[in-house]
Amino acid sequence: MKLQSLTDAAAVSRVYDDVLVPSFPMSELVTRDWVLDGVGDGTVTVVAAYEGEIPMAAAVTEVLSPGVMLLSYLATLPASRGSGIGSRLLDRVRQQVRRTGVGLLLAEVERPDCHAGSAEHGDPTARLRFYARQGAVVLDLPYVQPPARPGAEPVPGMLLLALEIAPSLLRDAGGSIDGAVVARALDAIMGEERDDGPREAALRAAARRPAVPLRHTEEWAAVEDSSAAPE
């Protein structure tokens, strides 16, 4: 299995069709053009794992603001799961993050108590186990994922994880993270504040403090659930 960073539009398009489309609900998947435009202007990176010429897994990252990145997608095709490809891809992403001086790498994942999962789209509990093993922590915020594409709905009942945090961003002996950096990252993810509903407003308000508490991924159930708030 070889890992490759993609810049060629045809290769990116193939990974979109063959790895991302089968792995994520359409409501949570950005458009192909969003990926292609981002790769073109350098804000989006796609790393894929190939078995021969066939893409089997991929990681997509997006620059949110200087020094802050989002792992937008990480997926291994069902038949190849459990053989270490996802871990290898994530290692590669984390190496890139450290090399380029990025201070924060975030990821959005489903809460197991809000999302049932499926054979194609994955099991939320197994996914959290995967990220916990990778040393991820959960930001103590009622996270709601903004619509991934025009016409899609926001997805409540999500968790915001941090996979890399530079020591300079940690507060309270590592128990929390600089609130200003998190608030800026949320602004980049969520866009204009004037479009906020109550859930989005509650999320931004929760980040507006000097430091946002961090929890072990295993403690995710103690994090406030955005789907419990009024729409």
Ligand X SMILES: CC(C)(COP(=O)(O)OP(=O)(O)OC[C@H]1O[C@@H](n2cnc3c(N)ncnc32)[C@H](O)[C@@H]1OP(=O)(O)O)[C@@H](O)C(=O)NCCC(=O)NCCS
Supply φ then ψ for residue 62, to 5 degrees.
-135, 135
CB of 91 or CB of 187, closer to ligand X: 91
Least gap, CB of 172 to ligand X (angstroms): 28
**Contact in structure between 125 and 68 (CB atoms under 8 Å):** no
CB of 109 or CB of 139, closer to ligand X: 109
**Contact in structure between 141 and 148 (CB atoms under 8 Å):** no
* Closest CB to ligand X: residue number: 86
CB of 125 or CB of 180, closer to ligand X: 125
CB of 72 or CB of 176, closer to ligand X: 72
Question: For residue 213, how many other CB atoms are within 10 A of its CB?
Answer: 17
Beta-bridge partners for 155: 145
Least gap, CB of 118 to ligand X (angstroms): 9
Which of 105, 124, 117 minimizes the C-alpha distance to 59? 105
CB of 136 or CB of 206, closer to ligand X: 136
Least gap, CB of 23 to ligand X (angstroms): 5
Least gap, CB of 184 to ligand X (angstroms): 22
CB of 60 or CB of 186, closer to ligand X: 60
> What's CA 100's distance to the chain center, in Å?
18
Least gap, CB of 100 to ligand X (angstroms): 21
What does DSSP say about strands 137-139 and 143-145: parallel, antiparallel, or unpaired? unpaired
- Kind and range of the H or E run holding 55: strand 54-65
- Kind and range of the H or E run holding 106: strand 104-110
Q: Rounded to whole angstroms, how far apart are CA atoms 131 and 166? A: 18
Q: Which residues bind ligand X (CB under 6 A)?
A: 23, 57, 73-76, 81-87, 109, 122-123, 126-127, 129-130
Least gap, CB of 157 to ligand X (angstroms): 14
The first and second tokens of residue 71, run together, are 């792992």
